[in-house]
Amino acid sequence: MHLDPTFILIAFAVLAVAFLYSSVGHAGASGYIAVLALAGFSPAVIKPTALVLNILVAAIGSYQFARAGHFRWNLLWPFALTAAPAAFLGGYLDLPTQVFKVLVGVVLLFSALRFFLKPGDPAEVTPPRVPVALAAGAGLGLMSGLTGTGGGIFLTPLMLLCKWAKTKNVAATSVVFILVNSSTGLAGFVSSGRPVPSLAWALAVAAVAGGTLGSYLGSRRFPVRTIQLLLAGVLVIAGVKLVLGG
């Protein structure tokens, strides 16, 4: 990958996405997908690249949020137990291009809706029953593997809507959930015999830099409302473009 102006612009966009997403407990897959889709890359390049960058940023975010004391193992394991194999299956499957674009577009729009809405911390929270979490994890894992995302953009609003945990605990759970799903999703992709594009490794430095700073600030004291609105605007543009076949 040559350091031409286009690549430099993409790298800066990836750095910004990693910074913004990691500050709210996500790893940025839907943002990377938006950037790469708008830059004209094919789904065969977008999916594995988003997964690689997601793994790197999610690993950093998991460490930061756990170190800040927000991670709760009892919230994660029922979701992760069924999500991991489902994400592997989703990563293994190779969908037709148009189906992939529509799926990703819906993912981006759903993510945008989550950021437009600002759910406050409920006065009381009740962890989900294990059967419910197992079923939800399977569905979220399959979708994450199919679309090249970590599933956090689904898990976060679900947990907040159902009042399963406080916001910071949800963020910590989501980022570890993303790490698990992205890792198994990439494993499924590689197992299908398809290569990881060199673009993923070329953009790794930008993603790590942005994810390190963003997750550090977000896990401790960084305000997220303005970031959520900015992200929502970007995702709406990219999501509509993909759904309409642009």
Domain ranges of the chain: 5-243
Contacts for 148 with CB less than 8 Å, ≥ 6 apart: 29, 33, 46, 47, 48, 50, 51, 91, 104, 185
Contacts for 186 with CB less than 8 Å, ≥ 6 apart: 48, 51, 52, 55, 91, 196
Question: Model confidence over 15-58: pLDDT tens digits?
Answer: 999 998 888 788 888 889 889 988 989 888 998 999 899 999 99
pTM: 0.80
Identify the segments of the chain with pLDDT beneath 50: 1
CA angle 24, 29, 33 (to 5 degrees): 130
In the prediction, which pLDDT does 103 show? 78
In the prediction, which pLDDT does 10 show? 95
In the prediction, which pLDDT does 168 show? 81
Tokens (6 digits) for 79: 């979701």
